[in-house]
Structure 1
């Protein structure tokens, strides 16, 4: 799920590689990895995890990846400023469609630039495909599964402490999903922008390996970053709560803790 700067640099000319820059268009236009296209994943918020909502999410995501030009042969690499939440969201989404050949650039463009690797400013065009993918229901969850299994899940809240304790308000209700544990996603990242090593991460995510773990945040971007870390550590049963607090905190029928 992670690719190093040197490895990416060695395959820039490979026609079967798709590189997606998930930062803002302003940042992209000021300089990006050669051959990269710009993909604004932040415009793709989704907080409805009813059955119909998930079906709509699937349709939208397929359109997005068709636009990006993903086919089964392509190796897809997402990058961010660092090993960030937008690139992680892209990796998780493609894994959700059972596309295994997908990676995040560890350290993002910050590490790329630090190593004086080549940068270009010209915009690159998309080469659209007809992407279908096969849904993998094992790495996504909605509010109903969490509500009905609160006592059996390890729930990781990847938001800031202020959002978790309710002092920062971003929904109709404040606080967090009952029994959830707050591990801010920023703690996943080293000072150089790469993921921390497995020893450091294991101390933070000290759970039995057979736990069913759910990650959430406000809109399932930071949660996707924590998902990748948990998979990196060898946890098998990890799901991202797609609706996250944007859904849970605005549903007055769902219980919260402060």
Structure 2
């Protein structure tokens, strides 16, 4: 595996004299000693914590481990066992990345992996720009990849989706609990020594849908046709007059006809994914989505919907797609708006409970992961 790099950051952090990233001895040593003292097993760590009345890094890591029949999400123990076999990508902003990160992690510019291109049918992921961004940090199509952030928020899931949209052949995983759950080696500063590679995308067009694809299926959603989920906050979904949740850049407010509203924050409990049984109840029982059918998710942009995209895939939904143009494209379409109607009267909102831990300070999205 090539050394790690963060091309394009333009700021040199605490790099060592040989050009490699620094390993912050106090923090990593403290974590290492605590991990060793906690014992070789999770049971031993839990027992020691109960006796001492303290929580060790090993306890936190164990709390974020993922069990059961869940795809894509893994815990810190899995990463510790497989660290040498995966490329680790950091989805946070450059400042947080330089301050502290999993040792050897690489950061992909977030603007690049959210880029879109215009087609006659509507906006779609810009596969070439996204592929170039991954290639710049040395990711190859057959690499097994793990993505982490401050939590399992939408920056993490957008990075995972960007790989999926490229037709990435390697596995794609997200770290449950984010950086705070990791009790292994840490690094700081910038890295400049990864050799860029050419990432040849094989776009997986089944990962997304276009504006016209949706328009052709109006009247069938959540009935005879695909499932359709609006992941925005309920006030935005309902087009509530005067609500701060309404995007002032949109000409129209409401939702796509037939969509069910399930706010994406219900996927997250602090820094972890919501308990899988609750997620199954939320999406299969309450939202009445068919795990064997096609389900499309959308929001105002193309970031937050990817949380629901990855969550549904993790709990066994077979065909989940993102409307990459988002409600912003649909609401502001020029020309025949009758073909792209917005609805407010017929509304189905499924209440969710969730909270998102971690903040990278970007301020660009409702969750930074």
Give your verdict on TM over 0.5. Answer: yes
Query: The residue matched to 1:66 in structure 2 has which SS?
Result: helix
Among candidates 217, 229, 247, match of residue 149 of structure 1: 217
Other-structure match for 1:162: 235
- Mapped to 2, the partners of 1:208 and 1:75 lie a distance apart of 29
Q: Which runs of 5+ in 2 are unaligned?
A: 1-71, 345-369
| 1:210, distance to aligned residue in structure 2 (A) | 2.5
> Of the candidates 184, 194, 199, which is equivalent to residue 277 of structure 2?
199
Please give the alpha-carbon distance, in whole angstroms, between the structure 2 residues aligned to 1:132 and 1:51. 24
**Match for residue 230 of structure 1 among 309, 312, 317:** 312
SS of residue in 1 equivalent to 2:164 = helix
Using the TM superposition, name which of 43-52 and 163-172 deviates more.
Answer: 43-52
Deviant stretches of 4+, over 6 Å? none
Among 39, 44, 52, the residue aligned to 2:108: 39
Pairing 1:104–2:174 present:
yes
| Matched-pair contact (CA < 8 Å) for 1:37–1:123 | no
Of 165, 173, 194, 2:252 maps to: 173
Aligned to 1:216: 298
Q: Distance in 2 between matches of 1:248 and 1:75?
A: 35
The more displaced of 50-59 and 27-36 is 50-59
Matched, 1:71 2:140: yes
How far does the alpha carbon of each residue in 1:77-131 deviate from its partner, in whole angstroms, 9 at most, with x for none? Answer: 111111111111111121222224221111211322xxx4332212233431111
Equivalent of residue 341 in structure 2, options 209, 231, 255? 255
**Per-residue deviation at 1:47?**
5.4
Matched, 1:190 2:269: yes
Q: Following the alignment from structure 1 to structure 2, what is the Cα–Cα distance between the partners of residues 230 and 104? A: 14
1:7-86 alignment to 2 at 5 Å?
A: 7-12=78-83, 14=84, 17-42=86-111, 44-46=113-115, 50-51=119-120, 57-86=126-155
Secondary structure (helix, strand or coil) at the match of 1:10 reads helix
Q: State the distance in 1 between where 2:137 and 2:120 align.
A: 26
27-36 or 165-174, larger mean C-alpha shift: 165-174
List per-residue Cα deviations over 1:148-206 (Å, max 9, x = no partner): 11212211111112221223222221111111111111110123x21122210011101
Distance 2:180 2:263 in 1: 21
Inter-partner Cα distance in structure 2 for 1:56 and 1:33: 28
Query: Aligned pair in 2 of structure 1 residues 54, 60: CA closer, same or farther (>3 Å)?
Result: farther
Query: How many residues are treated as equivalent by the alignment?
Result: 252
Higher Cα radius of gyration: 2
SS at match of 2:135: helix
Return the offset for 1:227: 0.7
Q: How far does residue 24 in structure 1 lie from its aligned partner after superposition?
A: 1.2
Distance 1:132 1:55, change over 3 A: farther
- Give the drift of 1:53: 6.5
SS at match of 1:238: strand
